[in-house]
Amino acid sequence: MAYHENLYLLVFLPLILIVYQVFPKKLRPYVLLVFSCLFFLANSKWIIVPILLTVLIWLAGMRIEKIRLDAEQKLPELDKAGKKELKAETEKRTHRIMIIGNLIILGILFYAQYLHFTVDNVNRVFSVFGIDLALKVGKTFFPIGISFYSLEAIGYLIDVYWNKVQADHNPFRLGLFILFFPQVMEGPIASYKDTAAQLWSGEGLKVDNISAGLFRILLGLFKKMMVADRLARVVGCVYNNYTDMYGFMVILGAVSYTIQLYMEFSGSIDIVIGSAEMLGIKLPENFRQPFMAQNAADFWRRWHISLGTWFRTYLFYAVSMSKSVKAINKKLRKSRGKYAAMVGTSAMALLPVWLATGLWHGPSWTYIFYGFYYFCILLAETAIQPYMEKLEDRLQITAKTPWYAALNIVRTWIVIFTGELFFRAKTMRQALVLFKHIFTGSFFPERGVWTILTDQKAILLEKADYLAILGGIIVIVIIDICREKDLKLREKILQGPIALRWSVYYLLIIALLVFGAYGSGFQAVELIYAGF
């Protein structure tokens, strides 16, 4: 049961809203927890995994707190040297708990996601040397959404260790934080501080919240049903016939996939955030008009924000602020100057972050490549930035000069499309073959692009479907531009007269019901990110 399916939207969600409202305030969080478990079970039987994670971080968090409290009690009785020693000792012990806890979480994640991949590659490496290890592993399990809530669990544990949040004594609240049904499949990855207290408040439903949430959900469905599910066919055609493709079609495929992914991922996140909003819970945003980014770094501050934030907080800063990196930084500053130090530090901190980001998406070399690709791009951007600034000064342009901004946006698009071309491929071979087609062989198909696109046998789309895609994209582009310019369109509609609000709702609904891609026997495309 995924978020775009009738079962969720027409049955599960209304049901939980009613049950939630009927129960007294104190019991409502438990209603959420029970329904979250049911939602998980409807998708995967491995609910034991998130429960285990919850118990683990619950115990570890309390243990860290206990050690600190014990130390605090002893502190006044000690002299200065003793205090220092005790502090160091406390730090060491809490650090150890945090590390062990995280290793267990990562171990489970590794077992579920990466064991097969690792074993396969170990076998392959040895076979190069003529040794046939033939290591085998049995079936592992794959609890849905594990990549998402594992990060949440790790984040909580580090936050407790960093003293950013108080250890939670209530395992059910932690469980709800991990398992909350809208987020459990594909994020957004929240920090404990963001959601736990809200989830546990048990505030009653409000009509305003429901109507705002509904608006968001309709918007998300619009993105998926108007654009994403249709473009998926174009993309599928290019990737399934990758050995026999034309340059133009490859580019079209990469662009289509990028649009599809945005519409589908941001659309399902809209449904997620809208569902939570109906319950009066505010989840962190995951997208901020990514296609208006000025450069790749900017793109990643706008695309899958919650993942970027997580990696920045818990990995990027942790690496770049570590003693060894700092020491190298200092040395470089002295010997080679500030610029070299900045580039060097960035490289050291970026590499693990981007390899991890790539791998996070799943056990595949294409994802590793994808991470490495962005590492190179981001490092290059950092390295040339001072020179670009000088150039901008000389030409008397700034990032706000319209033509220059437009140029930057288009340049960033090319970076994004190339990245997604590799991201979508099943194997590196497929990606490279496709990439090569752009530059070799004939660029345009002899049959004509439009003939192929409307070929019912190849793509299964009709002319009218392309109209729907185009119309859908135009609507979303307008909405995104309004957001970028901070016109607060949504707020204006939501607070406007009821006639305006209802007409917008009805228009959206009519658009979905008439022009949306759905119907008896139509196979909606499974949520892409739910597979990560």
Partner 1 sequence: MQFKNGLFRIAGFLAGLIIILLLMGVIFSAKRYYPTGYIQDRNSRHAMLTCEKPEQVDIINVGDSESGTGFSPMAVWEQRGYTSMNIGCDGITMPEAYIVLRKMFRTQSPKVVLLETNLFYRNGTAKLVKSLVAEEFYDLFEGLRFHNLWKFCWRERDSRLLFKGYIINEFVAPYTDSPDYMKPTDQVDHLDFFSEKWMAEINKLCKKNGAELVLWSCASPENYWMAKHNGLQEGADKNGLTYLDCNLNQEAIGLDWSHDTSDAGNHMNCFGAEKTALWLVDSLDDRIDFTDRRQDPAFADEWNPILDRYKETKVVMDGYYTDIISDEIADYIQNGGDFHQPGY
Partner 2 sequence: MEKLLEILEEIDDSIDYENEKALIDDHLLNSFAIISLISEIEEEFDVEISASEMTVENFNSAEAIWNLIQSKLED
| Residue located via tokens 């998708």 | 43
Which residues lie below 8 Å from residue 156, measured CB to CB, with a gap of 6+?
57, 61, 165, 174, 177, 191, 192
Judged on CB neighbours under 10 Å (0-12, 13-18, 19+), 364 is middle
Candidates 6, 127, 241, 427; binder of partner 1 (CB under 8 A) is 6
Question: What distance in Å separates the CA atoms of residue 74 and residue 46, rounded to the nearest whole number?
Answer: 44
When CB distances are held under 5 to 8 angstroms depending on the partner's kind, the choice from partner 2, partner 1, none that residue 376 binds is: none
Residue 463 touches partner 1, criterion: CB under 8 A: yes
Candidates 41, 321, 395, 467; binder of partner 1 (CB under 8 A) is 467
Candidates 73, 324, 396, 520; binder of partner 1 (CB under 8 A) is 520
Candidates 207, 323, 334, 486; binder of partner 1 (CB under 8 A) is 207
3-state DSSP assignment of residue 527? coil
The stretch among 30-38, 80-88, 282-290, 510-518 that binds partner 1 (CB under 8 A) is 510-518
Q: For binding to partner 2 (CB under 8 A), which residues are involved?
A: 161-164, 297-298, 301, 312-313, 316-318, 320-322, 326, 329-330, 333, 338, 341-342, 345-346, 349, 382
Residue 500 touches partner 1, criterion: CB under 8 A: no
Q: Which two tokens mark 263?
A: 């519409």
Which residues lie below 8 Å from residue 164, measured CB to CB, with a gap of 6+?
193
Binding mask 18-57 for partner 1 (x = CB under 8 A): ---x--------------------x---------------
Question: What distance in Å separates the CA atoms of residue 529 and residue 532, rounded to the nearest whole number?
Answer: 5
Of 73, 25, 7, the C-alpha closest to 279 is 25
3-state DSSP assignment of residue 443? coil
Question: What distance in Å separates the CA atoms of residue 226 and residue 53, rounded to the nearest whole number?
Answer: 38
**Contact call for residues 2 and 526 (beta carbons, < 8 A):** yes
- 3-state SS of 184-233 is HCCCCCCCHHHHHHHHHHCCCCCHHHHHHHHHHHHHHHHHHHHHHHHHHH
Looking at the Cβ atoms of 114 and 515, the one nearer to partner 1 is: 515
Question: What distance in Å separates the CA atoms of residue 214 and residue 504, rounded to the nearest whole number?
Answer: 12
Q: Total residues at the site for partner 1 (CB under 8 A)?
A: 36
When CB distances are held under 5 to 8 angstroms depending on the partner's kind, the choice from partner 1, partner 2, none that residue 506 binds is: partner 1
When CB distances are held under 5 to 8 angstroms depending on the partner's kind, the choice from partner 1, partner 2, none that residue 297 binds is: partner 2
Length of the chain equals: 532
Q: How far is the CB of 13 from partner 1 (least distance, A)?
A: 13
Candidates 92, 96, 169, 206; binder of partner 1 (CB under 8 A) is 206
Residue 197 touches partner 1, criterion: CB under 8 A: no
CB atoms inside a 10 Å sphere around CB 293: 21
Residue 205 touches partner 1, criterion: CB under 8 A: yes
The stretch among 6-14, 177-185, 403-411, 417-425 that binds partner 1 (CB under 8 A) is 6-14
Candidates 204, 337, 386, 441; binder of partner 1 (CB under 8 A) is 204
**Contact call for residues 434 and 192 (beta carbons, < 8 A):** no
Looking at the Cβ atoms of 118 and 211, the one nearer to partner 1 is: 211
Q: What is the secondary structure of 370-436 as a DSSP string?
A: HHHHHHHHHHHHHHHHHHHHHHHHHHT--TTSHHHHHHHHHHHHHHHHHHHHHHH-SSHHHHHHHHH
Q: How far is the CB of 190 from partner 2 (least distance, A)?
A: 15
Question: What distance in Å separates the CA atoms of residue 161 and residue 344, rounded to the nearest whole number?
Answer: 29
When CB distances are held under 5 to 8 angstroms depending on the partner's kind, the choice from partner 2, partner 1, none that residue 502 binds is: partner 1
CA 301 to chain centre: 11
Looking at the Cβ atoms of 43 and 313, the one nearer to partner 1 is: 43
Residue 15 touches partner 1, criterion: CB under 8 A: no
When CB distances are held under 5 to 8 angstroms depending on the partner's kind, the choice from partner 1, partner 2, none that residue 346 binds is: partner 2
Looking at the Cβ atoms of 44 and 313, the one nearer to partner 2 is: 313
Looking at the Cβ atoms of 316 and 370, the one nearer to partner 2 is: 316
Looking at the Cβ atoms of 168 and 264, the one nearer to partner 1 is: 264
Within residues 347-386, the interface with partner 1 by CB under 8 A covers none
Looking at the Cβ atoms of 308 and 516, the one nearer to partner 2 is: 308
Amino acid (1-letter code) at residue 179: L
**Residues 57-77, buried b or exposed e (16+ Cβ, 10 A)?**
bbebbebbbebbeebeeeeee
Candidates 88, 464, 474, 481; binder of partner 1 (CB under 8 A) is 464
Residue 497 touches partner 1, criterion: CB under 8 A: no
Residue 499 touches partner 1, criterion: CB under 8 A: no
Residue 517 touches partner 1, criterion: CB under 8 A: yes
Q: Give CA separation, 226 vs 260, 269, 339, 453, in Å.
A: 10, 16, 48, 17
Looking at the Cβ atoms of 34 and 328, the one nearer to partner 2 is: 328
Q: How far is the CB of 152 from partner 1 (least distance, A)?
A: 25
Q: How far is the CB of 253 from partner 2 (least distance, A)?
A: 32
Q: Give CA separation, 364 vs 32, 185, 255, 369, 371, in Å.
A: 35, 20, 22, 9, 11
When CB distances are held under 5 to 8 angstroms depending on the partner's kind, the choice from partner 1, partner 2, none that residue 109 binds is: none
- Segment holding 320, helix H or strand E: helix 317-320
When CB distances are held under 5 to 8 angstroms depending on the partner's kind, the choice from partner 2, partner 1, none that residue 519 binds is: partner 1
Q: How far is the CB of 274 from partner 2 (least distance, A)?
A: 23
The residues of the shown chain that bind partner 1, judged by CB under 8 A, are 1, 5-7, 10-11, 21, 42, 204-207, 210, 457, 460, 462-465, 467, 502, 505-506, 509-510, 513-523
